[in-house]
Structure 1
Amino acid sequence: MSEPTAPHVPALPAVRRQALRHHLMNEFERPARRPQRMLVLAPAAGVLAAAVAAGVIAQLWAPDSAPLIVTVEQGEHSGATLFLNQMAAAAVNKPEPPSGEGEYVYIKSRGAFAELGDGPARLQPVREREIWIPRYERGDGLLRQPSFDLPIIGVIPERETLTDMTPNAEVVDLPSDPDELLAKLYRERDERGRGNSRDGAAFTAIGDILRESLVPPQTSAALYRATAKIPGVEVVRGVTDAAGRRGVAVAHTEGNRRDEWIFDEQTYEYLGERSYLVADTADGPAGTVLGTTAVLQRAVVSKVGQRPER
C-alpha cells in the first residue's frame, strides 16, 4: 500500500538519521534521577521535534518558569475503538496525495520539550522545525531547527543535510490489513529485544509515521484500525496541541508516562502530540508535561529547501 506511482520497496523505515538519534537515547533505561539535565526530544519517541530557521516564536512557556502541569484525565478505552474506527472510515474518503507533482515531502511543525534530571522537568521554549523528506527515492533531505548541544548526541546544527534518508513512499508502504500491520510492528519490536513493551513500541511506531510522513488515505485507515487493536489505548478529550488547537487525543500509557496523538474532533485531521507524567516521580508530579507539538503544514515541493506557497 504505497503512495500513488511510488515504487514498491521493503516495508517500514530503516529509522531516519535524526529519528535514530532519539531512538538511541530512548533505548537507555533512565535512572530515577540523572546527574545532569537532559532534553526530552519527542513525546512519543520519534523524531527530534522542536524548531527552526525562524527561531523562537510564540513562546508559550519560558524555560525558567514553573513546570507546565495538566490535569491527568481518565481515558476512555471503549471510546478509543469507536473513535479510531470512525477516523478510519472517514480517511478512506479523503483525496489521495498529489502524484508526480514534487520530489520532496515538506512538513513544518512546532514543539516544546522538557529537560530531565537534577530536579523537576521544565519545558524549553516553543520553537518551529522544518523537514524535507525524499518522496520516492532514497536520498538526502534537509532539517532546519535551532541548534542544540545535547548530552551523548553532541551538537545538532540549525541546518543539517540528512543523508541517505528513507523515502516517504517506503515509510507508508504498509500492510492494508490491520492485523498484519500490527503483527509486523510486534515482530520488529521482538527482533530488537529492548525498549518499550510490544504494545508501547507499536504505538510509538505508528505515531512516528503519522507525525512526519505524507500518508495516503488507505494507509491512514489501516494505521487507525491497527491502533484500535493495541491493548490499553484510550481516548482523552479536551486536549490542546502546541499551537493552542483543541482536539481529541488517542493515548497510550507506558510506565509513568502517557503519550497522546491529538486529532480534530470534526475533521479527524492530525494536529500534534503531547506527553506527560501520570504519576508523581523525581521528574515532577503527575501531569508534568514532557513534550508538546503541533504540525502546522504538510505539502509536496519540487526541491529540497523549497517552501510551499501559502
Structure 2
Amino acid sequence: MTRSDTFSSDHLDFPGAETLMAAGRVEPPKAETVAAAQAVLRAAIERDTEAAAVTPSAARPRRRAGLARLFFRPRVVVTALAAAVAAGVVVYPALTSNDTAPAQPPQAASAKTFLNDMAQVAASAPATKAPYWKTTLTINHRADGQKPHTRSWYLDRKGKTTEVNPDGSTTVAFTIRGYSVGDRNLDWNQLDKLPTDPKALASLLPSANSAGGKVKSTFDNATALLGQSPARPELRAALYRVLADLPGVEVTGPAEDITGRRGTALEWTTDSTTVRLIINPKTGDLLEETETAPRTGALEARYTYLVNTPVDKIG
C-alpha cells in the first residue's frame, strides 16, 4: 500500500473524496472563500458549545470538545466545506447535529460572524496618504418623486469639495463637507481621530434626536460612513464590528446590486423599514443599501455606492 493509498483510506472517508483526489493539484481557494469557510466552523462551534451548555449532562453522549467534535463528525462539516470550496463560494448554513438544537437562530450567528470577518478584511486594506477621496453615489428616493440620479465628488484633506457635473466638468464647492457622526459633522482629519474600539465608537454614533431610536441611528451612521466617507481601514473595521453587535441583523445569501455587482446580502428590519445591505466579501466594500416597506416591499430609498476610494488627482 502506498502513502497516497493510506492517506485516501484513512483521511478522506467522506462523500466526494474520490472527486477531490481525481482533481489533482488545484489552485488554492480565494481569501474570501477561506474566511467564509472559517466562519462556518466558528458558527458551528458557537452553536454546538451553547447547546451543550443547556443540555443536561445525563441526556447527551460523551463528545470531544472544541474543534475535535467537528472532526468527529466529518460527514456534516468536512463535506459541506469541501463542496463550498469547490464551488468558490460559501454561504452561512445552519450546521446542527442530530442530538442537539441550535441555541440561537443560525442566521443571527452567521450575520455576526460574517460582519466580524468583513472587519478583518477591511482592516487588511492599506492605509492611504492620497490627497483626495472620490465618491460616486447613485440615489433613488421614491418619496421626493425624482428619478434616480448619480452624484460624484472629490474631497481634499482640508474639507474642500469638488463636484463633478453631468457633462464631466468640475465645480469647486465652497462649503466644507462633513460626515455625520452622532450629532456632529466631522471632516476627513477628524474622522481619523475617531476611536477604533467598537464600544467606544458605538457610543459616539447614535444621535439623541433620532426618530428611529438608538439602534436605527447607529445602523444608519455606520452604513453611511462605510459607503461614502474616507474612513481609514481601522475605522472601517470598527464600524463592521459595531454592526456585528447590533441585534436583528440576518444574512440572506448571495445577491446583486442594481448594477449587477455580486456580494452577500444582509437585512435588518424595524417596524417601519427593512434595510438591506450588499457587501463585497472580497474587499469589504459596501455596494448598496436599500430601504423598503416591511409589509409591502415597496422601495423607499436605494443608495448604490459606485466609487469610494482614495485618488491622487481630480479627473
TM-score range, shorter chain: 0.5 to 0.7
- Cα RMSD of the aligned pairs, angstroms, is 2.8
- Determine which of 126, 135, 155 is the counterpart of 1:95: 126
User: Are 1:185 and 1:205, in contact at CA under 8 Å, matched by a contact in 2?
Assistant: yes
Partner of residue 161, structure 1: 173
Q: CA offsets, 1:247-306, max 9 Å, x none?
A: 223332232211223112344332121111111xxxxxx211222232222343466xx2
Give the secondary structure class of the aligned counterpart of 1:272: strand
Q: Could you tell me how far apart the structure 2 residues matched to 1:159 and 1:254 are? A: 39
Q: CA deviation at 1:172?
A: 4.4
> In 2, are the aligned partners of 1:242 and 1:293 still within 8 Å (CA)?
no
1:257–1:269 distance in 2 versus 1, CA, 3 Å: same
The residue number in structure 2 matching 1:67 is none
Between Structure 1 and Structure 2, the one with more strand by share is 1
**Contact 1:110–1:242 (CA<8 Å) still a contact in 2?**
no
Q: CA deviation at 1:141?
A: 1.4
2:112 equivalent among 64, 81, 100: 81
Say if 1:94 and 1:252 are closer, same or farther in 2 by CA, change over 3 A: same
Q: Relative to structure 1, is the Cα distance of residues 86 and 183 closer, same or farther in structure 2, using a 3 angstrom cutoff?
A: same
Higher mean C-alpha deviation, range 224-233 or range 170-179:
170-179
Contact 2:121 2:282 survives alignment (8 Å): no
The residue aligned with 1:182 is 202
Which ranges in structure 1 are unaligned for 5 or more consecutive residues?
1-73, 117-121, 147-157, 280-285
Q: Which moved more, 1:173-182 or 1:195-204?
A: 173-182
Alignment match, 1:107 = 135
Tell me what 2:275 maps to. 259
Q: How far is 1:182 from its partner?
A: 1.2
CA separation of 1:185 and 1:262: change in aligned 2, threshold 3 A: same
**For residues 223 and 131 of structure 1, what CA distance do their matches in structure 2 show?**
23
SS in 2 for 1:244: coil
Q: What SS is found at the alignment partner of 1:164?
A: coil
Classify the secondary structure of the residue corresponding to 1:91. helix
Q: Is the 8 A contact 2:264 2:278 kept in 1?
A: yes
Q: Do the aligned residues in 2 keep the contact of 1:128 with 1:145 (CA within 8 Å)? A: no
Structure 2 distance, partners of 1:277, 1:113, is: 13
Select the structure of larger CA radius of gyration.
Answer: 2
Residue in 1 that maps onto 2:162 = 142
The answer to whether structure 1 residue 173 and structure 2 residue 197 are counterparts is no
Percent of aligned pairs with the same amino acid: 25
**Partner Cα distance (1:91, 1:75) in 2:** 24
CA distance 1:254–1:133, shift in 2 (3 Å): farther
Q: Secondary structure at the match of 2:205?
A: helix
1:222 is aligned to 238
- What is the distance in 1 between the residues matched to 2:190 and 2:264? 29
Specify the SS of the correspondent of 2:155: strand
1:289 to 281, 299, 302: 299
Distance, in Å, in 1 between the alignment partners of 2:108 and 2:252 is: 9
Q: Distance in 2 between matches of 1:94 and 1:244?
A: 24
The alignment partner of 2:162 has SS state of strand
Q: 1:196 aligns with which of 205, 209, 212?
A: 212
Contact 2:257 2:304 in 1 (8 A): yes
The one of the two structures with greater contact order (alpha-carbon pairs below 8 A, sep at least 6) is: 1
Question: Which residue matches 1:12?
Answer: none
Instruction: Point out where structure 2 has 5 or more consecutive residues left out of the alignment.
Output: 1-104, 179-186
CA deviations 1:196-223 (Å, max 9, x no partner) are 1100000011111112112222111111
Cα–Cα, structure 1 residues 227 and 170, in superposed 2: closer, same or farther, change >3 Å? same
In structure 1, distance between residues paired with 2:233 and 2:248: 25
- 2:171 and 2:106 mapped to 1: Cα distance? 39
1:145 positional shift: 6.4
Alpha-carbon displacement from aligned partner over 1:155-198 (angstroms, at most 9, x marks no partner): xxx96825032322323432111111112224xx23x3x42110
- CA distance in 2 between partners of 1:126 and 1:145 (Å): 16
Secondary structure of 1:165's counterpart equals coil
Tell me, in whole angstroms, the C-alpha distance in 1 between the residues paired with 2:171 and 2:299. 27
Q: 1:185 to 1:267 in 2, by over 3 A?
A: closer
CA separation in 1, counterparts of 2:236 and 2:151?
23
Q: Give the Å deviation of 1:92.
A: 2.1
